[in-house]
Amino acid sequence: MAAEREIQLISEKFREFYAKGRIETPREMERREFGFIPFGAKAMFRHLSFSTPEDLRLYLVKNTPAHVYYSSAYYENPEAEMERKGWLGADLIFDIDADHIETPCKAEHDRWRCKGCGLEGRGETPESCPRCGGISFEEEKWICNRCLDAARHEAQKLLDILIGDFGFSPIDELEVSFTGHRGYHIHVSSPNIRELDQPARREIVDYILGTGIKAELHGFKPSLERLTTGEGGWRDRLIKALYDYLEEADLKALMEAGLSRATASKILEIKDRLLQILWDGRPSLALRLIRRRTLDKLVEAAVEREASAIDTVVTTDLHRLIRLPGTLHGKTGLIAQRVSVEILDDYDPLVEAVAFKGGMLKVYVERAPRFSIGGVLYGPYIGEEVELPMEAALYLLCKGAARLAG
Amino acid sequence: MIGVLEAKYPFLDRAVEMVGVLGLRVEELVGFGDVVDRGFERVSEAILRGVVSYRGENPEVEMLSFPVALMFVSLIGDPFLDRRYALAEGKRAYRLLREEAEEVIAEVAESFNWNIRLRRAILDGQLYSFELHFADYLRNASGFHEDKWKLVNRVMRNGYVLLTKAEAARLLECEVENLILQRVSRHRRIELPGELEKRVEMLKKLLEEHRGQIGGETLPERVDVEAFPPCIRRIFEAVLAGRKASHMERFALVSFLLNAGMSIEETAELFTSISDFDPEMTRYQVEHIAGLRGSRTKYKPPNCDTLRTHGICQNPDNLCRRVRNPITYYIIKARRGRRRRGKTS
């Protein structure tokens, strides 16, 4: 975390940002709970509410919090303690974070350090320290284009399902936003889903992840000559997923899916016939070639590849506080920015979400990998003083990777 | 004119309105012996057989006896009977609806404000008759545990789920059950004429005689680690070994241990003795789950469905397939263990 002098500068910049303009607010903002994390603090101030966008903006200008959150839920009394809030419903929220997606570049830009013995490593933080077995770590995570592209790809898969299967309108009911850090949020607001309880939301999560899918219930029965396709949904997606998976699978992949070496080799031998059968939609023929249990394992592996990597806890939480789009992310200085569904393909958060432009700043950088901000590449830096454009300097200051020079 | 539909589905608004128009008062009911008899019979069928029959010979009696039965159940004021009666009326509705024409099912569905449309489709040789908006579908089906009811195993497009006639009837059964449960749970006290009061007493007696048949399972006296389900066992061992457990995993473990009878002290001790958990914070959180703090709810362990969603259910065994909650697994497994140990020692 940045120290006193740095916090002062960052706060000043955040204040300028909020003083400048209008603030975006969620639907029915007066029914929402708001929460804030100040710079340098760990705990959240919550149970607050605002009735107009201007009230909220003035609060932000006055207090310049590092992080701004609002509730996905609508309450009778948003300011009351949890049990007395009076839950009226909640939007459906999906969180896609590059932290939960395997990307090869993490080994290049992420580091961890064991708090117990000081062992350091690169890439994803292990569950426990390989040297001392400790489970507390300091983590250093950086944003990069490849991680963000992977997250966006997952977001697009999710949108396909939400629009095609669930029938949500991309114009009225879906909102996508960049989180300001390593991922995307998708908000669904529709009277249809507002009052869904936790089990119902869990079913939606399972649908999106393909959890519990049974090939048999999508037509893979020994008695069925020809599959009915073209109805959309998982039925068609499953066949496509299986096809794509089988087409690419090699011995290693099949064994990772849980098949024995012998079965995996056999699948590879009959691969072309299987692909043809899938193409023709002939489940009875497929089940004559491979056993049901083998098919189930292939389906599981294929579906996992096809499903969208959402955070299951966020979506099933009826009282979640989520980052308010249009506000600044205290760890990056980037805007958590709304992106319309149509332009998501061409959206580049590391250019579009830059909040501070203009001027130069001299900073001392402890350590930073190569990073891109505002379309310019910087670094890597290690223990050096550099003069940087404001957006890059602020990004490093927010990350706590640099301090003001002099 | 009271028709067949009102007799079959007396919970429909139009039936309820008709009863209202007739404006029968409680004191006058005594004069309608057959209505009171049938009302009494509805409740006793629910207690004895778990399903209410349909008597179509006299539509008026069939329709009017429904509010009478509701009155009986609500006066007895026993949550167990509330649930049993609601379930039994739900089953009655299901059996009748299953046999109806599509239009009738759609009409009943619309009375529950379902967003439903007639749509004929043949898929894999199976005839589908309706499409239902997924929100209405989930409101009723998310409590079912068979694979075929999982949304991921349905055919859904543009927000609508294909349904067969029997499936639509089954989902309506849930609506009927919930509606009736809501109505009878509003327990109230009113003065009844002696004749009716006698019926209430008879039903109470009948209920007491049969309550015992639905026995509860009991927990073993001491916490039996051997009987833990695979999911809990895995987290338990991870925590013992000082490995990282997610928030959800810790919640599942703590709520399980507390429900299995472990004390708050022992549970908190488990976390603090082997790792760097803050003792005060840990105790606070354990007490919260035990219901001593915050919302004062004593949390049950998450159901298997939930654990599956969050990736915590990893190596289910045969017994897992029979249960919906880790605690049920534990009770059954512990009982088996006791029997086996009883035999060998």
Instruction: Dump pLDDT digits (tens) for A198-208.
Output: 999 999 999 99
The Cα of A232 is separated from the nearest Cα of chain B by a number of Å equal to 6
As a whole number of angstroms, the distance between CA B198 and CA B323 comes to: 41
Same structural domain, A15 and A91: yes
* Residue of A202, A205, A238 for testing the chain B interface, max B β-carbons within 10 Å: A202
Q: What is the pLDDT of residue B276?
A: 62
Q: Is B93 exposed, middle or buried (0-12, 13-18, 19+ CB in 10 A)?
A: buried
Tell me which amino acid residue A334 is: L
As a whole number of angstroms, the distance between CA A211 and CA A195 comes to: 23
Q: What is the pLDDT of residue B344?
A: 42
Same structural domain, A187 and A269: no
Considering the domain boundaries, does residue A206 fall inside one? no
Q: Is the dihedral of CA B128, B130, B135, B138 positive or negative?
A: negative
> What average pLDDT does chain B have?
86
Considering the domain boundaries, does residue A207 fall inside one? no
C-alpha angle with apex A371: A69 to A381, nearest 5 degrees?
Answer: 115
Percentage with pLDDT > 90 across chain A = 69
Q: What is the pLDDT of residue A1?
A: 47
Q: What is the pLDDT of residue B345?
A: 36
Same structural domain, A174 and A281: no
ipTM of the complex: 0.90
Q: Which of A99, A110, A311, A317 is catalytic?
A: A311
Same structural domain, A121 and A252: no
Same structural domain, A260 and A276: yes
Q: Are strands A73-75 and A137-140 parallel, antiparallel or unpaired?
A: unpaired
pLDDT, tens digit, 9 for 90 and up, residues B239-281? 887 777 888 898 999 999 988 888 888 888 877 766 666 777 7
> What average pLDDT does chain A have?
91
Quote the strand ranges of A29-98, DSSP E: 34-37, 45-48, 67-71, 73-75, 87-90, 92-97
Side-chain half-sphere CA neighbours of B204 within 13 A: 11
The residue range of the domain holding A300 is 215-306
Using the structure block, give the residue that is written with the tokens 């350091």: A120
Residues in chain A: 406
Instruction: Read off the CATH number of the domain in which A388 is found.
Output: 3.40.5.50
Using the structure block, give the residue that is written with the tokens 């039996």: B224
Contact A199 B142 (CB under 8 A): yes
Give the total number of structural domains in chain A: 4
| Interface residue B247 vs chain A (CB under 8 A) | yes
Contact A166 B124 (CB under 8 A): no
Report the run of H or E that residue A283 belongs to, with start and end.
Answer: helix A283-289
Same structural domain, A128 and A163: no
Q: Which of A91, A97, A99, A110 is catalytic?
A: A97
Percentage with pLDDT > 70 across chain A = 100
Q: What is the pLDDT of residue B342?
A: 54
Same structural domain, A123 and A191: no
Instruction: Read off the CATH number of the domain in which A280 is found.
Output: 1.10.8.160
Q: Which of A127, A164, A206 sits opposite B151 (nearest CB)?
A: A206
| Interface residue A232 vs chain B (CB under 8 A) | yes
| Interface residue B98 vs chain A (CB under 8 A) | no
List the structure tokens of B270.
Answer: 């488990």
| A:B CB pairs within 8 Å | 125
Same structural domain, A269 and A164: no
pLDDT exceeds 90 at position A33: yes
Q: Are the beta carbons of A289 and A274 closer than 8 angstroms?
A: yes
pLDDT exceeds 60 at position B215: no
Percentage with pLDDT > 90 across chain B = 47
Considering the domain boundaries, does residue A236 fall inside one? yes
Same structural domain, A168 and A82: yes
Same structural domain, A176 and A45: yes
Quote the strand ranges of A39-90, DSSP E: 45-48, 67-71, 73-75, 87-90
Same structural domain, A88 and A50: yes
pLDDT exceeds 50 at position B33: yes
Same structural domain, A88 and A20: yes
